[in-house]
Structure 1
């Protein structure tokens, strides 16, 4: 009989579900990909059903459901914070018994439920899925129950957290506070600040250092006079505007030089804090290995600086470092508790979501008036055709295999283009992604070609580290203003079709690199299904769509009328968490 462990993160933001079967991670997916509600916090019912289907199991086969945080401890922090003005629904949401009741009632599960603390789940999501037999572990986020930063160690099937920084002191909330001050949405706009930073100068660093003070060991303290998040209405106080000498930027207004300077200053301060505290962790543990998780670990610029400027020699960052990844950690902890064993070594990829057969895709396309070409059993011909289109300057919507788990598109649900095109970045930002012009794009490169084009001497399969561009090729579409890039190294073992496409493009152009960005538009989740791929294709400026073995060209198709799309292919109602304050509820 197999051992089946379900991991769940929910009721906060970015809910997700995973399945560990006989110690092997079989499936993982965020609920937002099914509901189309970005950062959907609800119990991941659809993701749960997908995991059961992918594992070929029923409810009676589940040995345990592992939940990612302790609701009772979280409630104590919420009550301490004295959050005011709660609605009746929010009051219900923070009841500590709600989690178990919802799993029992909404999922229909009557078996064993194990609960782990938020930062335990984060730490486990990194260490147990790394290749390290032992490692130091650093978790940094906004807040869990009480912990905001934690320091730990992992060895074999054991994990220990030996020190924590507690709320309201939080590096993540420092970053989110200035994210909000700069006019971006909290919980989702922090990566925009990271992308904006290279355009500025660190002239506000001294002022930002007044907002936080480093103390002994792994500790630090926020100067709470500059923050207002305890009241639950907004992140910053009026004193922050006085400190910085400018009013808060309103959303969707012009981004000025001073805003770029604040972003740069914040990034510099964040990097200095993380380097200092990571070095402390190394000094205490003596480990050469570092595992990182938590939302702050998605700051790929800081990750590269930590590895470069501390005594750690090796680093693993959980690809789904935010709360979605906690489902993986909780499940791995439960597996260790039940079996006494560590989960099996994972394959070095995150293709853990749904896939779709050619037959099902053909039916979708036939339900529209789209003219398409069928390349089934002709993969080489298809890839050659796509590579030539990209070389000719076309933007490609690419849909292949199982969907990625986590926030990055890594060659399963991607938009692809030629990185050498001088106008390509502006075109995709404006006409396809419909997002801010300053936002950079990432390169995907054949793994064996990496060191010829980027200052990177190790694999980076998950786009979680930036490095300098050193290529002899001119690559304006993927080179940021500071000459950096967030690289994805592509391996034939983990994504053979994407690897072959890069080879085909290299054969035509001499360039082993493609621009790779997520297959979605601004403020929407990454696409999951063929239907969503078609909708995104016809409502953007994407030139060609590839869905498994089917090729659709905008030329020769009238994309002006959405009536061509079957009524089943409609978008869900837009949904967004409160953009002005971190999700404490």
Structure 2
């Protein structure tokens, strides 16, 4: 067995690959700790995988960590040292938290299973991202990998040529602190959202901004593509992330753009100040799109490939992907369902597997639902609350599905806790809140009442491929990304979809094309004959919390919100 670990920087996770090269289990630490974006050593996830698979020291071949700790620790310190004395607090913070950095991995893992630390190996951070993306690709040879994130071991962006899974050669990189990911995070901070968690809010807000607004030219000066050096250049004087732990942007950025948004103030369309921040978000998003296009053009020039892997945290920017896919030299872009750091644990596990299986020809494509979960484990401990707070409308799987479809057709909202968890941050039906995607009142209730989300954030639509082609401009280069809700698309001109409540204000939607033999495909099969061909699909959680992992979490969400129905492996529940 081969274990991959990501931890300490963003989301932590653990992946398990067996001797055949199959991803057999995967957990994000936040799912078990219930701490959003938990970046601590994934102790709970490790213990769960060891217990559920009865792993012993002699059955674990190796454990791969998703970055090289010393390099990751020293690079920010080296840069910050150039800005003493203003960077003193940053340097003190780094050294004080030495034992909380990835350097502690060796000691932390030894506490889980003594002796396992001797099987620990390390790999380059961007290689972990590349292998994760490669795992979800049907093309495993002669493909270009583009990795763009905040910061890895040393690089913030890289281009590699994948000859095969054993021969991956890096051809270009951009060194810290020039970082497209950290630039986007700094603007996220300026706009009053939490760094590493609120970037998707910036994407949603950007749709309300105006093209070529007054902030667009100002933003162009902050980060740009140097055509001569073929590098991203960041004007550091506008940012503080490389020398301060208090905030990501500097006073000079405030002088340029005006007062930063108070994170505790409401941000509602039509309110005073909303348009300013929407315009800044739009200028930021447009600038990122233009820079991504520059990078992909350079990637094509140095590799001559027409097929691309795209991973790293910036690959979560679903709104940028339609513009990249339009480039004439691109045939296909593969984005893994979890392109950020949590997903890099999968790439690390495959690295460990490949190191021990040099005769392997390809990587077996993982399921979108790899996290093993059985509600049977919780049925006894939940029996009391289920009997007191809920009633079963049915315990039969087929009948429960029909009842759920009927509820949705009658304007009800249904939560799901069915089978295994999804890999990535987007729920694809197994841990979802669902309703009729064409019923505006119900979608608004789902979004603002149950989820307590900002009104400028859209809810995603789920549908079959046939329905998607009816309403939306589907790009063949991104077809696999739509399965995991990893790319947006635009409505067809004059399409009714422009009026759907799941369509964003700019005519875009982060669609999910449902795959056959899944819960959503079964529901749509029942609903389509009565005119409901689109479901609104949002993750089963309350805004700010991790997506539900098990039935206990689902019951908690139902207890704290007006969500009255839960479709589970035990049957369909109604709150009393």
Q: Same fold (TM over 0.5)?
A: yes
Report if the CA contact (8 A) 2:447-2:459 is conserved. no
Q: State the partner residue of 1:575.
A: none
Residue 446 (structure 2) pairs with residue 392 (structure 1): no
Give distance in 1, aligned partners of 2:16 and 2:459: 32
The one of 111, 122, 125 aligned to 1:118: 125
Question: For residues 447 and 347 of structure 1, what CA distance do their matches in structure 2 show?
Answer: 21
More moved, 178-187 vs 39-48 = 39-48
2:70 matched to 1:72?
yes
- Unaligned 5+ segments in structure 2 are 82-89, 268-273
Q: Are the counterparts in 2 of residues 445 and 489 from structure 1 also a CA contact under 8 Å?
A: yes
3-state SS of the aligned residue for 2:390? coil
Q: Distance in 2 between matches of 1:31 and 1:277?
A: 32
Return closer, same or farther for 1:115/1:306 CA change in 2, 3 Å cut-off. Answer: same
Q: 2:350 aligns with which of 323, 332, 344?
A: 332
Which residue is equivalent to 1:583?
none
Equivalent residue for 1:138?
146
- Map 1:159-198 → 2, pairs under 5 A: 159-198=168-207
Which stretches in structure 1 are left out of the alignment for 5+ residues?
558-585
How far apart are 1:512 and its partner, in Å? 2.1
By how many angstroms is 1:68 displaced? Answer: 0.4
Q: Choose which of 217, 232, 237 in structure 1 pairs with 2:245.
A: 232
Q: Distance in 1 between matches of 2:219 and 2:538?
A: 32
Residues 78-477 of structure 1 aligned to structure 2 (within 5 Å): 78-80=76-78, 81-82=80-81, 83-86=90-93, 90-94=97-101, 96=103, 98-108=104-114, 109-134=116-141, 135-157=143-165, 158-202=167-211, 203=213, 204-216=215-227, 218-230=230-242, 231-244=244-257, 246-255=258-267, 256-342=274-360, 345-347=363-365, 349-358=367-376, 360-361=378-379, 364-368=382-386, 369-373=388-392, 375-376=394-395, 378-456=396-474, 457=476, 458-459=479-480, 460-470=482-492, 471-472=495-496, 476-477=500-501
| Residues 1:105 and 1:309: Cα distance change in structure 2 (over 3 Å) | same
- Secondary structure of 1:32's aligned partner: helix
For 1:424 and 1:403, how far apart are their aligned partners in 2?
A: 25
- CA gap of 1:343–1:19, structure 2 versus 1, over 3 A, is farther
Tell me the alpha carbon deviations over residues 419-473 of structure 1, each in whole angstroms, 9 at most, x when there is no partner. Answer: 1112233322221111211110111112343211221143411111111123546
Change (3 A) 1:60 1:390: same
For residue 549 of structure 2, what is the aligned residue in structure 1? 528
- Root mean square deviation of aligned Cα: 2.0
Q: TM-score, normalised by structure 2?
A: 0.91
**Distance (Å, rounded) in 2 between the aligned partners of 1:155 and 1:305:** 27
Give, in angstroms, the shift of residue 85 of structure 1. 3.8
Tell me the alpha carbon deviations over residues 468-504 of structure 1, each in whole angstroms, 9 at most, x when there is no partner: 12354676221100111111111124x2x33111111
DSSP-derived class of the 1:423 partner: helix
The superposition leaves residues 490-524 of structure 1 with CA deviations (integer Å, 9 ceiling, x where unpaired) of: 1124x2x33111111212x3232211010011111
Q: Distance in 1 between matches of 2:118 and 2:377?
A: 37
> Does the CA contact (< 8 Å) of 1:15 and 1:41 recur in 2?
yes
Bigger proportion of residues as helix: 2
Q: Equivalent residues in 2 for 1:13-32 (5 A)?
A: 13-22=10-19, 23-32=21-30
Structure 2 counterpart SS, 1:169: coil
Q: Is the 8 A contact 1:298 1:464 kept in 2?
A: yes
Bigger CA drift: 105-114 or 137-146?
105-114
1:560 aligned partner:
none
